Each structure stands twice: as structure tokens, then as C-alpha cells.
Amino acid sequence: MDLSEIIYYTVTAVALAIWVYRDALTSQRNQWLWGTGVLLNSTFFFPLYFWTRPPEFYWRCPQCDRTNRAWTRQCPRCEAVVPAIDMESRLYGFWTEADAVSIFLLTQATTLFVAFMVGVELAPNGEGIQDASKLWLVQMITVNVMLALSFYCITVRYRRAVQDIGLRTENWLRWMPLGLLAGLALVFIQNGITTIFAWAGSLFHFDLSGQLEREMATQQLGWPTSFHDPLLLVVLFVAGILVPLGEEILVRGIAYRAARARFGPGTGMIIISLVFAFLHQSPAFFPGLFVIGLALNYLYERTNSLLPSIFAHASINITAILVKVSVQ
């Protein structure tokens, strides 16, 4: 584990521990116990803290459309009363940023567990990667776990429909070309931003170009060696379809909607874009990833549909895959 990884995990653990400590103060739970637990093992204790607490449910009045808390069956505005037999089917909740973080942490734990079971060492420099097919098996299982946890959070824990996050199939023929073209444009924009920052870093004698080369070399590990490599189909399916679907549902559908509800669309876009770039653990590509995050958030906000951002994300990943294979 190098210095950048140590800083990444330390900052993350401290931030999550402070988050849980402050929340425990208001929810009358043992703040020192939970805060210390998250600091020592955030992957286990952070989801445990938030997902063992029952969510608060609401219901929408059929008469005046007012949102009411679940503890009453009478609407305070129009005084309409919902029959007890119908109350259960009307209840729903609102997820928060903590749910998105919990899903991410559990997904990361799954990655480490599956990698250990199949014998893949997830070292940042690629050492230990002898069978690329095992690496992509780990990725496939990880993304499916992310999808399962996301759907559980939306449909089971908070009793919402996937349509509530914009995952709808109507107008997909309209959103597909928009998303694919936006993704291609973002590839060129990201490359331009990365080049500019590398040049700016050289003016201050900061070896960003060297960092960029090292990260690009690391990203080549585990990829198909040619267009005739059978592994290419697996990579296109996992990185080009599953990953965009899973990440957009989690980042845009769950995390951004929670941040927008708390901070508003503008601030929510910036926060989630920063988190999106930070979680990729790629300092050299951070500015470009931040811009991509902003663009995908904007697409989602303007269209109120996940399909454009999913197609754009897929376009970015597939383009990156084809470029990497072509230069092998």
C-alpha cells in the first residue's frame, strides 16, 4: 500500500467516523462506540449503523396530495382518513447519502472477498494479475452485488419504484443517440483537460505527466491484448454495460438525488461530481473525471431520466476499451 492509498483510506475512515459520531448525537445512540467502530472498520460498521435503524415512512394523501408522516392516518390539511387496510401499501421512505455510501462500502468489501476467493491480488501496480479472466469475474460479481444492493435500497428498504429514480424505458430511442454522442464528446473533453493540467503541472515542476503515465500503464493490466482476444467480449459486457448501469443507478439515481434533496441541484451536482472523481483514486485524471461527473449529473437533471447518463457512461467506457486494445 503506497502513500496515496494510505491517505485515501485514512481520510475516508476519519470522515465517515465523524459523520456517524455527529448522527449518533442526534439519534441518541452511543456516539463513541459507533464512531470508534467506523474509524477502525468503516466497511462493516458504517452500513451496520445506518441500515439497522428503521427508515422513517411517509404517505401521500389521495385527496390533496400532501406528504404526511406514517404515525397518523389522517391528513392534517384536508382531514381525509386513509383506511388502515390501505395504509401499508401507501408507505414509502426517502433514502439519504448514507445509503449510497453503505452500498459502496459493501460493494468494496465484496470485491476484496471475491478476489481472495478466486485468487486475484488487487494490487494497485497490477502485481499478481496472472489471469485477466479472473479479474473480470471479480468485476462482474461486484457490479451485480452493487445492482442488487441498490435495488434492495430503493424497492425494499424504502418501498419505491425504480421509475422514481428515472429508470424508465420510454423514449429510449431518443435518449440513446443523445447519450452516446455526449459520451464521445466527454472523452475528448477529458483528454483535453488532462493534457492541460499535465502541462500546467510541468510549469510548477510537478511531475503530473509521470503520474499520468504510471496510471495509464496500470490501467492497461488485465485488458484484452487484441481485438481477436475472446476476453474482449467479456470486458465490453462488464465495463461497457454492467458498470455504467450499476454506477449510474448508485451515483445518479441514489447519491445525487439524496444530495439534491439536501443541498439543491447546483451544490448537489458539485458534491457528487467531486465524490465521483475521488472514488476513482486517480489523481492525474481527477479534473477530467470531475467534469464527466458534472456532465452526467446535468444530463440526469435536465432529462429526469437515467438513460442518457447510462448511455453516455457506456459510450465513454467502450471508447476507452477500444482505444486501450488498439494500442496494446
Q: Tell me the one-letter amino acid at 117.
A: M
Does residue 5 form part of some domain? no
Q: Which three cell numbers stand for residue 223?
A: 485488458
pTM above threshold 0.85: yes
Query: Mean pLDDT of all residues in the chain?
Result: 87
pLDDT tens digits along 182-233: 999 999 998 898 888 877 766 665 655 455 444 444 455 567 778 888 889 9
Distance CA 18, CA 24 (A): 10
Residue 89 lies in a domain: no
Beta-strand runs (E) in the chain? 58-60, 67-69
Q: Does 251 fall in a domain?
A: yes
pLDDT cut 70: percent of the chain above it: 88
Q: Which domain holds residue 287?
A: 163-326
**pLDDT-based confidence at residue 265 (cuts at 50, 70, 90):** very high
Residue 199 lies in a domain: yes
For 1-37, the pLDDT digits (tens) are 567 678 878 888 999 999 999 999 988 899 999 999 9
Of 243 and 219, more confident: 243
CA distance 218 to 92: 44
Q: How many domains does the chain have?
A: 1
State pLDDT tens for residues 118-135. 887 765 444 444 567 888
Which conformational region is residue 282 in: left (phi greater than 0), alpha (psi within -120 to 50 degrees), or beta? Answer: beta
Q: 16 lies in a domain?
A: no
On whether residue 155 sits in a domain, the answer given is no
Mean pLDDT, rounded, for 238-251: 95
Alpha carbon distances (Å) from 167 to 202, 249, 253, 292: 44, 8, 8, 20
Q: Is 210 a domain residue?
A: yes
| Phi/psi-derived region of residue 28, left when phi > 0, alpha when psi is between -120 and 50, beta in every other case | left
- Own/partner pairs, 221-227, CB within 8 angstroms, 24+ separation: 221/126, 221/129, 222/126, 222/129, 222/132, 222/135, 222/136, 223/132, 223/321, 223/324, 223/325, 223/328, 224/132, 224/325, 224/328, 225/325, 225/328, 226/325, 226/328, 227/325, 227/326
Is-contact 37 45, C-beta < 8 A?
Answer: yes
Per the listing, cell 465495463 goes with 239
